[in-house]
Amino acid sequence: MKVGDLHEARALAGRGSTKTELTLGLLHGFRLERNGLAFQLPLGVQRLVAFLAVHNRPLNRLFVAGSLWINSNEEHANANLRTALWRLRHLGFPLVEATRSHLALAPDVLVDLHESAARARQVLRHERSSTPEDVDAMLFGGDLLPDWYDDWLLIERECFRQLRLHALEMLCEDLAAAGAYAAAVEAGLACVAAEPLRESSHRVLIKVHLAEGNRGEAMRQYGLFRTLLFDELGLEPTTALQRVVESLPIGDELVTRRR
C-alpha cells in the first residue's frame, strides 16, 4: 500500500460514525475497496487474501503457507506468511482474522465471487423467478482471477466457470419460457462467448431463436457452431442438436451439408 493510502485508511478508521464497508473483487482481477476507496496491496498479500476468500472458511496456518509458497521449505513459507500478516495488520482495518492455528477472511468483507456464486446457485435451484438482473450479474461475473497462474487456483477457477455457464444456460431457458426473449438471447450469447465450443449453450440459444420465431437466426447460429466445431475439433454436432434444427423446413439440408 502507498503511504498516502495508509494515512487515509487510518483516518477513516478513526471515524466512529462511519460504517466500514469492505469489498473484495476476485472476478476479472483483484480489487480491494474500503468505503469506495481502492487499496493497492503487495502481490504476496493479495495472494493470501484471495486464498482465504476463495476457500471461505478458517484454514490451518501450515496449510495456507504450504499452499501459497509451495516451492519454499516450511521455514521460509511460514516466514512469508508472517510477513504478509504483518503487512495486513498495518492496513488500519481488519481484513483477515488470525489465531495461533488458523486464518480466515474477516466475516464483514463482501466478496463478489461469493455473491455471484450464490446467485448462480439460486438460478440453478429455481429458488426464485429468473430476472434480467440475474443476467446482468452473470454477464459481469467473469472468470476468477483470470490473470493469475497459481496452481491452487486452477480447479477453483474451473469450478466457478462451470457454475456460471450452467446458470447462464438455465437463465436462457427460464427467461425464454417467461417470454423475455431479449434477456434470454443475451444470456445465451454470453454463455457462447465464454465457451464457443460448448454445444449445450448453442442449443439453448437456438431454441430461444425458434421460440421467438426467428428461424433465420436459429439456422445461422447452428451453421456458425457447426463450422466452428468441425474446424477446431473435426467433429459434428450431436444428434440432440441436429434434432432441434431438423424441425425446420431447411433443417435436413443444413444438417447433412458439410460446408
Instruction: Examine the domain organization and report whether 237 and 224 are in the same domain.
Output: yes
Q: Which residues pair with 33 in a beta bridge?
A: 23, 38
Residue 186 resides in a domain: no
Q: Are 164 and 190 in contact (CB under 8 A)?
A: no
Taking only the tens place, the pLDDT of each residue in 48-97 is 999 999 999 999 999 999 999 999 999 999 999 999 999 999 988 999 99
Residue 10: its pLDDT value, please?
40
Whether 80 and 138 map to the same domain: the answer is no
Quote the cell numbers at residue 149: 497462474
Last residue of some domain: 59, 93, 108?
108
Q: Indicate the number of domains in the chain.
A: 3
Same domain, 205 and 257: yes
pTM of the complete model: 0.84
Between CA 61 and CA 49 the distance in angstroms is 13
- As a whole number of angstroms, the distance between CA 204 and CA 219 comes to 13
SS3 content of the chain, % helix, strand, coil (to 5): 60, 10, 30
For residue range 201-242, what is the model confidence (pLDDT) as tens digits? 999 999 999 999 999 999 999 999 999 999 999 999 999 999
CATH number at residue 38: 1.10.10.10
pLDDT at position 6 is 39
Residue 98 sits in the same domain as residue 7: yes
> What's residue 190's pLDDT?
93
Same-domain status, 27 and 95: yes
Contact between 90 and 6 under an 8 Å Cβ cutoff? The reply is: yes
Whole domain around residue 132: which residue ranges?
A: 112-172
Q: What is the pLDDT of residue 249?
A: 61
Rounded to whole angstroms, the Cα distance separating 184 from 181 reads 5
The pLDDT of residue 134: 77
What pLDDT score was predicted for residue 255? 53
